[in-house]
Chain A
Amino acid sequence: MTRLDATRVVVRQAGDEPIIASLGHPAYDLFAAGDRPANFYTWGSMGLASSIGLGLAMAQPGRRVFALDGDGSLLMNLGSLATMAWVRPPNLVLVVLDNESYATTGGQDTATTHGADLAAAARAMGIPGSLTVRTPAELERALAVRKAGPRVVVAKVAESAPVAKPPLDCVFIKQRFMAAIGCPESATTGEDS
């Protein structure tokens, strides 16, 4: 399963629901798998996709919120798993695209190459049922489960060279995203804020 294969499964499972993508290759592949207004592409803030997803899930409890993280990014913000476990948003799904590599920066090994197990870390932090999947069918099955979360799914993926990049304009990404999920920014609607 390449990262793009896995990303396509997430997009299919997400329907119209929001997806937050970590910077670099996860965001590039989310764009390639299907650009949609409810995609939030980060261009920086490495490590924070899960935190952005958590905040969004808290503000929008009626939506199923997906966060697409990388293994290197999640390793930068492991505390996020502890906070997710504590806040326990039932509507948050964190998908970690684990290619065991800092692929965006040249393919250096991450600790997951050398034994770090992010699904086990999530369970240890208090998110039961966190699991590792290796095929598109396993990922599909894991995401189709609608039991209350938070849910953490680590997808072991092969690196695949990205073929496209998402829009570069950060404010455009934000405003399009907020309108798509029913929270248009007041500055775009002509109302007083």
Chain B
Amino acid sequence: MHPGSDTPVWAEGVCAGLHAAGSRHVVYVPDNPLSLVLKVLQDAYPQVQATIATREEEAFGMAAGLYLGGARPTVMLQSSGLGNSLNALTSLLVPYQIPALVIISMRGDAGEWNAAQVPMGQAVRSICAAIGLPAVTIDHAGEAAATVELVGRTAFGTRQAGACLLPRQLTALPAVRAGRP
């Protein structure tokens, strides 16, 4: 967090990175950490259109349509929604070589308090590897902007979706870090 600002550096970095990668459309299913990203987009990136989807698979379908129309889409979701996305990823984005920049807010990793979030959270990296979705973990707030931009440029350049994982140790609010859910 910058002095005098309530906005965490990682959230500002995600926005700067996706913008620098040329993305002007974000389709998302919200979660708590991602709400901070959405706030930055709303305040500082009015040229980026953020659209909510009812379900993660729908978000990937919309992203595919955006790409077909010449846009560079970003999809944001919580890791629990990766399961809801798999058919879209494996039968649309991967075989048609339709890229998207994917931002995944992690649950179920260190700092988790809800057992129901753990199995999917622990499986995210294996699932990404199994379906051919490259995934990079952002461990330090200061690297968020550069990593998101690079993953986005690689995705759109190689026509292969690429994911940035945001672990809870990066995104958790101070109250959560202190052990209060």
Contact = CB atoms under 8 A, between A and B. Distances in A.
Interface of A: 18, 20, 40, 42-48, 50-60, 77, 79-80, 82-83, 86-87, 170-171, 173-174, 177-178, 181-183, 185, 187, 193
B32 interface: no
Interface string B64-76: 1111111101000
A86 B54 CA distance: 11
B161 to A, nearest CB: 14
Interface string B89-127: 011100111100000000000000000000000000000
Interface stretch (B33-41, B55-63, B140-148, B164-172): B55-63
Contacts, number: 127
Given A44-B91, A44-B92, A193-B156, A183 B70 contact: yes
B68 A45 contact: no
Nearest to A192: B157
Contacts of B25: 55, 58-59
Contact of B95 (A44, A47, A51, A82): A44
A57 B59 CA distance: 14
14 contacts: A45-B61, A45-B92, A48-B88, A48-B92, A51-B53, A52-B61, A55-B62, A57-B65, A83-B54, A170-B95, A178-B68, A181-B69, A183-B69, A193-B157
B96 A55 contact: no
B58 A170 contact: no
B1 to A, nearest CB: 33
A80 to B, nearest CB: 6
Contact of B73 (A55, A57, A82): A55
A79 B69 contact: no
Nearest to A82: B54
Interface residues of B, number: 36
Contacts of A170: 95-97
B20 to A, nearest CB: 14
Contacts of B65: 20, 51-59
A79 B157 contact: no
Contacts of A52: 61-62, 64-65, 68, 92
B54 A80 contact: yes
Interface of B: 25, 27, 49, 51-55, 57-71, 73, 87-88, 90-92, 95-98, 156-157, 159
A98 to B, nearest CB: 20
A56 B51 CA distance: 13
Contacts of A51: 53, 58-62, 64-65
A51 B100 CA distance: 15
Contacts of A181: 68-69
Contact of A183 (B68, B73, B90): B68
Contacts of B98: 174
B57 A174 contact: no
Nearest to A183: B70
B96 A48 contact: no
Given A42-B92, A171-B96, A185-B159, A48 B64 contact: yes
Given A40-B68, A45-B91, A171-B97, A55 B61 contact: yes
